[in-house]
Amino acid sequence: MNRLFNYISTIFFIVFLCGCGIYGKYKRPDMETANLYGELTEETDTVSSLSDMKWRELFADTILQKLITRGIDANTDLNVARLKVEEARASLTSAKLAYLPSVQFTPEGGLSRYGSGETSKTYNLGLSATWEIDLFGKLTNAKRKELAVLEESEAYRLAVETQLIATIAESYYTLLMLDEQIAITTETIESWREYIKTLKALMKSGSADRSTVNQAEASRLSAESSLVDLKQQVIEMENSLSSLLFLEPGQIERGSLNNQEFPQELSVGVPLELLSRRPDVIQAEAVLKQTFYATNQARSNFYPSITLTGAGGWTNSGGTAISNPGAWLFQVVGSLVQPLFNKGQNISNLKISKAQQEEALLQFQQVLLDAGGEVNNALYKWQNARKKIVLDKEQIEHLSMALKDTQLLMKHGTINYLEVLTSRQSLLSSRLTLVSDRNEEIQSIISLYHALGGGGL
């Protein structure tokens, strides 16, 4: 009867502990993700996602692939993030080892003599062990908390890596854009020079005036000034990219903008995927887990600590008389420490832990909402860039025809040279805009890929 009563009491005791949340496991809070991406302007595939692609698949340029590989291996911030992961992994190992007894080797020796008597020699060769029984979940919650810290560190490392990949790609394609703009500007400058020669010849024959030549010269000088600025931007971008790659400042090898190919159709997948792909979302949830288990730990502090201590060894001083050889010595002690005067402090710590848990929940929800907004912005940006490219090409086609027509009309004396100058300037501006919008399209693909949590190997 007593045994049955003990079993029932034990069951009720365990149920009581579980109900207090001491051993409760973290469960993700209910999150509404159905409309996380907002109302997209085009129909998107919800089965596959751009984030399913590996970065080597998305960035097919072999030179860029080498730069990204170099960055992943050598970037300072990423290597620091890797070390933080190792620190968290060591802390988790320490938390797991807390389940095992703590063992100490305690050898002792002594010499004593009374009056003119003989010197007695005593020694103890002992081992002592202390083991805390995790009846109230302190060690379990500490281990689970450290596991969440490791998850956060891994997510941080992944966040740094994906951001690094995106930044290297963005810098690389910006360099390609600048190269293309430099080529167009250089070509335009040569065209201006040829045109100015023609105007000077016409001025000598009286078919053109000095003001027209000066206007053309001013336009050429403006283009040359723009060329200087573009080259300066190239140097700054190369130096910035070299820093990311942990290289000394220098020229960056690269391809050309016209040879870059990307998917013509992009899919964002279902919003729920952000919970398992976005490093910052994973990191925010890991912080929420930590606060959850910290709250459990705070509850555990209201309950006593149970510790078993044992000692054993070899001694020659087991009694009043010293004997050699010695004899075995064993000792086992159990202790229970119940907090009595720190209840107020424990209550305060529990309130703090609960408040921190609420803060972490709000931060987790906000990070998820921000992620959805980034996806929406990037998708709209990509769609609009593609539309602008179509318009740019049509505009360039019309301006090219307009320039040819004005040049013919100028030869026949129907219009003046200023209209030709205006047509040339408009065509140059449109060609540069097309290159800029093409780069905008590529940058938006990178932004969308990053926003969806892509960037894996």
DSSP secondary structure string for all residues of 388-410: HHHHHHHHHHHHHHHHHHHHHHH
pLDDT at 8 over 60: no
Greatest mean pLDDT among 101-105, 117-121, 154-158, 231-235:
231-235
Q: What is the pLDDT of residues 342-393, one digit of tens each?
A: 777 878 888 888 998 999 999 998 988 888 888 888 888 988 999 999 999 9
Integer Cα distance of 181 and 184 in angstroms:
5
- pLDDT band of residue 128 (cuts 50, 70, 90) is low
CB 425 within 8 A of CB 446: no
Mean of pLDDT values over 160-167: 89
Q: Which residues contact 431 (CB under 8 A, 6 or more apart)?
A: 184, 396
Least confident of 9-13, 248-252, 283-287, 336-340: 9-13
What does DSSP assign to residue 45? -
The answer, yes or no, to whether residue 322 has pLDDT greater than 70, is no
Q: How many CB atoms lie within 10 A of CB 72?
A: 17
- Model confidence, pTM: 0.76
Give the domain ranges of the chain. 21-115+134-303+338-451
Superfamily of the domain at 21-115+134-303+338-451 = Outer membrane efflux proteins (OEP) (1.20.1600.10)
3-state secondary structure of 115: coil
Query: Distance between CA atoms of 153 and 107, rounded to whole angstroms?
Result: 42
- The answer to whether the beta carbons of residues 164 and 75 sit under 8 Å apart is yes
Predicted local confidence at residue 355, as pLDDT: 93
Alpha-carbon torsion, ordered 132, 137, 138, 141, to 10 deg: 130
The span from the CA of 263 to the CA of 249, in Å, is 33
* Residues of the chain above pLDDT 90, percent: 20
Q: How high is the pLDDT of residue 321?
A: 47
3-state secondary structure 217-266: HHHHHHHHHHHHHHHHHHHHHHHHHHHHCCCCCCCCCCCCHHHCCCCCCC
Q: What is the pLDDT of residue 379?
A: 87
Distance CA 68, CA 81 (A): 17
Output the CA torsion 19→22→24→29 (10° steps): 90
Cβ count within 10 A of residue 194: 9
Helix (H, G, I), strand (E, B) or coil at 26: coil
Is residue 274 within 8 A of residue 58, CB to CB? The reply is no
Q: What are phi and psi of 340, to 5 degrees?
A: -115, -45
Residues linked to residue 121 through DSSP beta bridges, in sequence order:
111
Question: Taking a C-beta distance cutoff of 8 angstroms, is the pair 234, 413 a contact?
Answer: no
Please give the structure tokens belonging to residue 155. Answer: 């997510």
Residue type, 392: D
Look at the block and give the residue holding tokens 């910035």. 240
- Is residue 58's pLDDT more than 50? yes
